[in-house]
Amino acid sequence: MGMIGGGSDAMIGAVHRRAAFMDNEIELVCGMFSIDPEISKSSGLSYYVPEDRIYYSWEEMLEKEAALPEGERMDFVTIVTPNRFHFAPAAKALELGFNVVLDKPMTFTLEEALQLREIVNRTGKTFALTHGYSAYPAIREMKKRIADGSIGKVRRVYVEYTQGWLSKRIELKGGNNAGWRTDPKKSGKGGCVGDIGTHAWHLVEYVTGAKVTELCADLLQVAEGRPIDDDACAFMRTDKGFTALLQATQIATGEENNIRLRVYGEEGGFEWFQQEPNTLYVKWLDRPAEVIRVGNGYLSDKAKWVTRTPGGHPEGFIEAFANIYRNFALTIRARHAGEEPTADMLDFPGVEDGVRGMQFVETMVQAGYDPEKKWHKWIEK
């Protein structure tokens, strides 16, 4: 693995690295960790990257690595830069033959996303997008059971993602991650809707297998003077006939990172909370609710595939992230060996999720500021 971004002054880069390292399938061999050469160098050294493979520009890195003999050059590159710097290195890496892991939202604009899709499809390289929450074992179990019809036809979904860390305009103080996230020039059209709304939307499509077809939304700029949405909600319709209610906020004072997903079918309903991710509740009409706990023998193989510890030994966010990395690595390895990756290996978000994520933001922004509040068709472009 090579890395673009993720210097010692960044947060999410460390999650990526730990997720990549945990299963011993991946090692960090090179990187351009910061646009500040000092930081890139010191970060690389502290990550035990050989000095000659610490780079100071991503173009240089991609070219030099591509020039290395196979087996020596990196197998894939992880790009964890702010999202307006996603497209260019990702595109170039793919064109040079590298597999790519990208953080979400996939690109700065929908146009870039569509272009990237074209490149991924044309080059045939393996591409992953780190929608980490969808990789929790309990979410996999929910997806499997819904697909198996255990709760009957899905009729109603509620998803909420509540954070409070942007309650105050801390972006004005600097020294935190709020700066680029609340600046439309840096984050793209969406604020909250792009940063966390995309995760909430993705969970809905992931666990149900449905696609949102139209939505009616409200985008709010709650903290006084903030030039971008910090709260978003939407009524959503899907191609499987059910509706969903989505809410995402970053101004729910005192909330940490509170994702709650509920899916109700004709016969039963699921409930899951990200902050206690190893528990999945199933509710029934005429009998007691059940508490499914990750790590137990009664879980599906689909969930077991992404489980590392027995019941009662909690797994967390880094493990969920690691599930994407491990599947990605195993897929690359299989393809390299000329084998077909299994369905379980291939179960990581890809470029299609990335495109739809950008379409989601586009549609939410269009609908959310529409004073008429009418139904807006999903923007395919």
Residues numbered 239 to 278 that lie near its own copies (CB under 8 A) are 243, 245, 247, 249, 251-258, 262, 264-269, 274-278
Adjacent-strand bridge partners of 260: 160, 273
Among 317, 325, 360, 378, binds its own copies (CB under 8 A): 317
Residue 300 contacts its own copies per CB under 8 A: no
What is the CA angle 59-63-64, rounded to 5? 115
Per-residue interface string for the shown chain with its own copies, residues 24-43, x marking contact by CB under 8 A: x---x---------------
Binding segment for its own copies (CB under 8 A), chosen from 71-79, 99-107, 183-191, 366-374, is 366-374
Contact of 83 with 103, CB cutoff 8 Å? yes
Residue 291 contacts its own copies per CB under 8 A: yes
CB of 270 to its own copies, least distance (A): 9
Residue 371 contacts its own copies per CB under 8 A: yes
Query: What is the b/e burial string over 111-150, where b = at least 16 CB atoms within 10 angstroms of the residue's CB?
Result: ebbbebbebbeebebbbbbbbbbbbbbbbbbbbbbbeeee
Among 65, 319, 353, 362, binds its own copies (CB under 8 A): 319
Residue 344 contacts its own copies per CB under 8 A: no
Nearer to its own copies, 84 or 283 (CB): 283
Contacting its own copies within 205-224 (CB under 8 A): 216, 218, 220, 222
Contacting its own copies within 169-198 (CB under 8 A): none
For residues 17 and 240, what is the distance between their CA atoms, to the nearest angstrom? Answer: 37
Adjacent-strand bridge partners of 4: 32, 79
**First vs last C-alpha separation in the chain:** 33
For residues 307 and 319, what is the distance between their CA atoms, to the nearest angstrom? Answer: 8
Helix (H) or strand (E) run with residue 157 in it? strand 154-162
Residue 303 contacts its own copies per CB under 8 A: no
Residue 8 contacts its own copies per CB under 8 A: no
Q: Which residue has the tokens 């930081």?
A: 39
Nearer to its own copies, 216 or 346 (CB): 216
CB of 351 to its own copies, least distance (A): 25
Nearer to its own copies, 41 or 117 (CB): 41
Contacting its own copies within 88-147 (CB under 8 A): none
Nearer to its own copies, 42 or 167 (CB): 167
For residues 4 and 27, what is the distance between their CA atoms, to the nearest angstrom? Answer: 14
Among 65, 229, 231, 353, binds its own copies (CB under 8 A): 231
Contacting its own copies within 61-80 (CB under 8 A): none
**Cβ burial, residue 26 (10 Å; 0-12/13-18/19+):** buried
What are residue 150's phi and psi, to 5 degrees? -60, -30
Nearer to its own copies, 45 or 122 (CB): 45
Nearer to its own copies, 67 or 298 (CB): 298
DSSP state of 54: B
Among 8, 22, 96, 335, binds its own copies (CB under 8 A): 22
Sign of the CA dihedral with 191 first, then 14, 357, and 234 last: negative
Residue 334 contacts its own copies per CB under 8 A: no
